[in-house]
Structure 1
Amino acid sequence: MKILDIVHQFNDGRTHISRGICRVRYFVGPAGTVVLLTDLGDKNDGQSVTNAVEVIIKSLLDQGYIISPATFIEHYERSDWASDSFDKVTLAPHAEWEKLSRSRVMEMIGDEDGELSDRSATNPRIVSQADRLLFRHDPFIGSRYPESNEVTKRRLEIIENMISKTSVDALVQSGSGEQELQRLLKTDLSIFGEAYAKPDDEYICFSEFPLADGFVDFVVFTGRSRMDIILIEVKGAEFNLLNANHYKAFNHKITEAAGQISQRLGIIFRDLNSFRKEAHAIRRRAESGERPYNAFLGPRSKLGVDPDKDINIRCVVVGGRTQNDLEESIKRQDYEAHTTPPVRVESWDTWLRRLQRI
């Protein structure tokens, strides 16, 4: 027979601050008093039942919830209740564990099978009790850790001046040319950070960036440890990505843009070390407040990159309209796999799918 079923709060055993919680069920059955100590997983903001078992047992006895003698069983719930683990805990004088089968535990508590299949995570009463205790520990538990005021301020500035996805899509739908699309995109370079930055919010974007004997339309610096440099060439939306003939080749504007990037990178790779040093020098200037090549800083503009490590260079060409998504996807993947360095081709339709903004 079940006598008690509560969420119990216990101290961490070192500072004696209430920090952990577990589910406690108290049965009187054929084996006498049996106490099931169920770990609450993500709901437990303190030590696991295993690590805190001596503290838990002592607190239950001290507070009078349990009267000795009693048998204590450590219980961990799994996604499949038949896979739950059970261990008898004996304090002699320190905790010792003895594995028990589910059937043996059922015998000890009086064959109450429904009790062992009752998931704590889906029991409204247990969840409610756990949440009350967690919010008492920390009123903002589960909330994102507050970011610095500087990051928040920059994030709000970016949002205030952000161009909408709808405005870009309107130009694409009307078949706008390269210059018209670039004119809009240059007013808010955060759109490229949103599309390519990893980690999110850690980026510096540029426009009209010098590369070898020419310029690249847009560039994104991002990454951790090794800096990722994404080179982006933008073409218009007044043509289909693939030609309509039986060859189904990319439109010549796409291949020309890809060829220009590849040619310039060929020059860069002959002295990649010098390009790496120059790129990091530009990064440092942008981070210090200068605006080389229309530098646009993301919310977390101090990139966590190592200037002495190799850089990763990626190339993207965006242009044209999608007519057959599957056919074009195969063509784009094949093209990227067979260009050196690899060039990723995107239509405006596929590129717009990257954006989270409205």
Structure 2
Amino acid sequence: MINGLRVVIAGGGVGGLTLAGMLTRRGAEVTVLERAHEMRQGFGLTMWPNAFLALRQVGGEAMYKAVCEVSQSMTRLRYRLGSGRLVADIDLTSTLVRQYGEPGYAVTRIELLEALASQAGTEVRYGAEVTDASPDGTVTLADGEVLHADVVIGADGAGSRVRAAIAPPGRPEPESRRLLGWQGVVPRLLTPSQTEAEVYFGPTGSSGMFPLPNGRTYWFLLDPNRDRPRLDGWHEAIRGMVEATPAVSMHRDEARDRPADPDWGAGRVTLLGDAAHPFLPTAGQGACIAMEDAAVLTRRLEGHSDPVAALRRFERDRFRRVRHVLRVSRRLHGMQQLRPAFMRHAGLVVTPTPVITRMYGAPTFPIPEFLGRDRAGVS
């Protein structure tokens, strides 16, 4: 049971704040520790029905509405070649809304974090760096402070200190893959309309532009160049997108994935989101799966009197799901990096739209646990 449970969450990102809001609504005493000295900015990200259904059913209407208010819904997603040729035109209303009640969304990371923090039910302790965590629930901070909890959650990102602290000695690091690119936010709308998004496949991989609230545009471009995105061979829409972005609103991004361990927790400690299973961004699921994790973990803690048993059940229940999303993100990465590029483009041209929809859309479909309408969320 959750009421009165003492929980320490290391990490004030999307997963950590989502979990905090879900647990405090059920009476948990939650402490959120974030090593950064202020809320991290970031740029943009996409959100999909699997996250929004989990958020609504477990977080309740207030959390759900707070996130919706800062997110831009998308009703159409088009895939194009670098030349501009259309290869798939996906009506998200018919493919997602009709089946799951939710479209796709785009949001800036900072606005999403602010919305989640407003619903967390507890203050985030910034500048609180966790240096050690023990299976008995002891957490040590860089300044020497020691905390004790019934449950400790490592939601502290791909370089998780919590994961390192509980890892068995000598366990080899699994193979990871790296993806280099750029992100930016343009203070004007570049997509065909306020609810339409576009993804292009060009010489260095893929590039996409997504509408944000208040007539802004979030974009990404896969490109390993370290100084500035290289625009040779890209469609004029992509060149114009980068050229319209102020330098302070452009960021070089490096992402790495990591296969999850089947037993990623120990004792009173478990991991959530990127701390357990970072993904490449090709499937657009990093933040979404962190929200899913938070919802499933809350349900497991709700359903067990023994919190340690609940953590192990959570890990078992999530392993197959996160392994699937890792495989999809790697498969999409491999397709986008296929050389020579004309082979990739030829394959996209002959692939029917329903197949492309399924290829990119499968991870966005809600897990069965959150499809039932009979389990209401907590308001």
Does the TM-score normalized on the shorter chain lie above 0.5? no
Q: Which is higher, the Rg of structure 1 or of structure 2? A: 1
